[in-house]
Amino acid sequence: MAVIQQSRSSLGVQLSRRATFFRRLYSLLAVAADAAAIVLLSVATGALYHQLVYDGPGVLLDYIQIGVLVAWLYILPKILRREYEVTHYINFKDYPTHSIHIWNLAFACLVALGFLTKTGQAYSRGWIVMFYGSGMAMIVVVHALMARSIKAGYRNGMVATRRLFLVGPVSNVREFMRKYRPEDAGLEVVGTAFLPEAQNSTDIPQGLHSSLQDAVAYARLQRPDDVFIIMPWSHQQVINHCIEAFMTVPASIHLGPEQILDRFDHVTIEKVGSVASLHLLRPPLSLTATLSKRTFDIAVASI
pLDDT in tens, 125-144: 888 889 999 999 999 898 88
Break the chain into its structural domains and give their ranges.
Answer: 11-155, 161-279
More confident residue, 56 or 18: 56
Q: Which amino acid is at 73?
A: L
Strand partners, 229: 167, 255
Are 68 and 47 contacting, i.e. CB atoms less than 8 angstroms apart?
no
Q: How many Å apart are CA 182 and CA 278, to the nearest integer? A: 23
What pTM was estimated for this model as a whole?
0.63
3-state DSSP assignment of residue 105 = helix
Do residues 66 and 38 make contact, with C-beta atoms less than 8 angstroms apart? no
Name residues whose C-beta falls within 8 Å of residue 232's C-beta, 6 or more positions apart in sequence: 172, 201, 258
Alpha carbons 87 and 162: distance in angstroms, whole number? 7
Cβ burial 181-208 (10 Å sphere, 16+ → b, else e) = ebeeebbbbbbbbbbbbbeeeeeebeeb
Average model confidence (pLDDT) for the chain?
Answer: 80
**Is pLDDT of 6 > 50?**
no
For the stretch 203-241, pLDDT in tens is 888 888 999 999 999 888 888 888 999 999 889 999 999
Work out the angle between the directed axes of helices 60-80 and 95-117 (0-180°, nearest 10).
Answer: 130
Torsion 293-296-302-303 (CA) sign:
negative
Q: Does domain 161-279 have CATH number 3.40.50?
A: yes
Q: What are phi and psi of 270, to 5 degrees?
A: -135, 165
CA atoms within 13 A on the CB side of 23: 23
User: What confidence tens digit (pLDDT) does each residue in 261-279 have?
Assistant: 777 666 777 767 777 777 7
Summarised one tens digit per residue, pLDDT across range 132-191 is: 999 999 998 988 888 888 777 766 656 656 788 999 999 999 999 988 888 776 678 888
